[in-house]
Amino acid sequence: MKPIEGRKRVVIEEVEPQVDCGRYPAKRILGDTVTVTAAVFGDGHDHVSGRLLYRHSSDADWRTTPLSPLTNDLWSASFTVDALGDWLYTLEAWVDHFDTWSADLQKRLDAQPIPGGTNSAAAPQDIPLALRSGALLLEHAAKRAEGDDSKRLADEAARLLKLAKAKSDVYENPLTDEIVALVAQYPDLAFATRYARELHLWVDRERARYSTWYELFPRSTSPDPTRHGTFADVKALLPDIAAMGFDVLYMPPIHPIGKAFRKGPNNSVTSTENDPGSPWAIGAKEGGHKAIHAPLGTLRDFDALVAATREHGMEVALDIAFQCSPDHPWVAEHPEWFNIRPDGSIQYAENPPKKYQDIYPLNFESPDWRGLWEGLRDVFTYWIKRDIKIFRVDNPHTKAIPFWEWCIAEIHKKYPDVIFLAEAFTRPHVMYSLAKAGFSQSYTYFTWRNTKDELQEYFEEITKPPVTDYFHPNLWPNTPDILHAALQNGGRPAFMQRLILAATLGANYGMYGPAYELCENVPAKPGSEEYLNSEKYEIRQWNRSASNSLAPLVTLVNQIRRNNPALHSDGSLHFHHVDNSNIIAYSKSSGENQILIVVNLDPTQEQAGWIDLDLKKLAIPHNETFEIEDLLTDNRYQWHDRSNYVALRPDVMPAHIFRLLRKPVVETPPKP
């Protein structure tokens, strides 16, 4: 291979963050400080310098900040992202001849003989020569500089030449910190190495990192059991939902429901005229994904609900399910968008042994795949123009991942504040690939992680780099599709336990609200995760004022989340050892706000144990007594050093959420 420019001697490698060698953008939140690290080195003993170049994609010019050395050829620099959307960054490094010369000059000066000493002799003749070399470097810097800086550097070069001509027994270092800093402002980039890639960074708004979701079926919100719920009924519930501390109101599909093969109660394949069907069987003669199910209200009613939700400090999240009932207009207008069986019929959805005769999946290998992609994108933009900025996407892993990468990028070009939640309970590589393709948040395996080892292993994976560079988890203890055995068998304590785990392990969490508040835990049949009398297939009436409602605890937990910045992100999550496998302990911190959570994972028995606190992580000196407050009970305790005792009765309160009341003391190393 013929070299293009052999005088570029600096190597740049191991640049972080980057996702799949720069194939996908890393993710950050508006206002974050982004730290970039890299290995930067050259041959021999010459010094190297470098800088980080960064800009928003809408900016024409790069902003720069110098790299600072860490250790073992690693360097870092940071910048703050002050706008939503796409950012770019890269690195540039070069052999720093002036810094090399400056360091060598100091070594020569340090080696000078001491006047009057036993080794007294004439000053080494190489110092004047070294000063002349420095003057030449300063002259070159003066040519790169402008205005007063250029004159000052030229004057300094002349001064070094004058010192070189003068005879002296001992030379002092002629350089000042100001001159060194001035030269650094005008580096010689003639043979600088630029990192091979301009890496991308996607910046979301804060709600992508911290959000609290409440799911309800609007058709089940009527106070009158004889009629279908409406958007107006949902609007009437907003004060209560907001008071519970939720900031996202999520509704399953609100579109017309098909009648062909409509499902009956408990997923029955037969239905009556009065059965409402599944909201995920989208489309009827009244319209498809851009229409509203008439019993819910009109578009004007929907707009009023969206506006009222914002007035209560919340946002509406819509469910987007790219599938169609047999009655959907697309079936007649675009039959090529579906899978055609040999007998000419359209293939309905199956997940053996489950069959969904009321749903047609889309064919992403359609000859008209471009038309299909554009039609699906237009569904999002239609609702975005009605002020919807959050979408929960149903089963995105059953659609082509290249489509998501294109579709989300297309939407983000104009609407960078839109948030996409991927409802994909599937294989890890597929879940992670969807996040890399652009989804802002992702459902997780939290529901199926129940032991201490399972929880710790999983959350140490998804809350640490490299996963955190692209994956924002959203934890749900239940959904309309998932009633885990832990909730079926653990009773009210299990609901309390899983609520606290979800709300504190994850900065994003949500619940299928009414069913969770009332501890609904009866499965459709033994061994099933489906609810009996599932709201997916029938209209339910919920007694939200019931005495057994978890609403007060949900409200308290959400208030604790809101008041403690440590719970607004996941990167500080740290597990602490407990000598009881039924008790899990972990902490989160943000500045001086430090939260320690302890949960009894056994919903049936009191559990006790000794917590072995990682004092360094909590910035607590050894052998110190400190005070903690349980935010769930307002009780305060004096703890001492690292080993402390806890006991938790699940029928009373299965967890502590402690706040450290003392100001953290950071130990500083002794001065040399």
Active site residues: 394, 423
Q: What is the rounded CA–CA span in Å between residue 404 and residue 434?
A: 8
Residues 6+ apart with CB under 8 A from 375: 330, 334, 337
Tokens matching residue 50? 């470098």
Token digits of residue 669 = 């190393």
Which residue type sits at 13? Answer: E
SS (H, E, C) 327-386: CCHHHHHCHHHECECCCCCECCEEECCEEECCCEEECCCCCCHHHHHHHHHHHHHHHHCC
Question: What is the rounded distance in angstroms from the CA atom of residue 215 to the CA atom of residue 318?
Answer: 10
Q: How far apart are CA 564 and CA 116, in angstroms?
A: 67
Tell me which H or E stretch contains 136: helix 126-144
Local structure of 650: helix, strand or coil = coil
**Residues 112, 63 contacting (CB under 8 angstroms):** no
Residue 294 phi, psi dihedral angles, 5° rounding: -55, -40
The reply to whether 536 sits in an annotated binding site is yes
Do the annotations mark residue 323 as ligand-binding? yes
Q: Per the annotation, does 8 bind a ligand?
A: no
Query: Cβ distance 156 to 138 under 8 Å?
Result: yes
Task: Give the phi and the psi of residue 35 in degrees, each rounded to 5.
Answer: -105, 125
Residue 537 marked as a ligand binder:
yes
Q: Find out whether 347 and 341 touch, Cβ atoms under 8 Å.
A: yes
Enter the tokens of residue 334. 């675009």
Helix, strand, coil fractions of the chain, as percent rounded to 5: 30, 25, 45
* Token digits of residue 341: 């069986």
395 is in an annotated binding site: yes
Amino acid at 147: G
Backbone angles phi, psi at 568, to 5 degrees: -95, 0
Q: What is the DSSP string of 617-632?
A: HHT--TT-EEEEEETT
Which DSSP symbol is given to 320? E
Burial of 562 (0-12, 13-18, 19+ CB in 10 A): middle
Number of alpha helices (DSSP H) and beta strands (DSSP E) in the chain: 15, 30
Residues 71, 76, 77: CA angle, nearest 5 degrees: 155
Distances 526 to 182, 484, 489, 530 between C-alpha atoms, Å = 76, 11, 11, 10
| The total number of residues written for the chain in this structure | 672
Assess contact for 280 and 359: CB atoms under 8 A.
yes
Cα–Cα distance, 194 to 38 (Å, whole number): 13
Other CB atoms within a 10 A radius of the CB of residue 126 amount to: 12
Contacts of residue 420, Cβ cutoff 8 Å, sequence gap at least 6: 391, 393, 408, 438, 439, 440, 441
CA 185 – CA 442 distance, rounded (Å): 44
Q: How far apart are CA 440 and CA 514, in angstroms?
A: 26
Q: Is 167 annotated as a binding residue?
A: no
What is the full DSSP assignment across 389-449?
-EEEEE-GGGS-HHHHHHHHHHHHHH-TT-EEEEE--S-HHHHHHHHHHT-SEE--SGGG-
User: CB–CB of 625/615 below 8 Å?
Assistant: no
Q: Cα–Cα distance between 333 and 322 in angstroms, integer?
A: 16
Binding residues: 263, 323, 358, 395, 536-537
**Which residues belong to the annotated binding site for alpha-maltose 1-phosphate?**
263, 323, 358, 395, 536-537
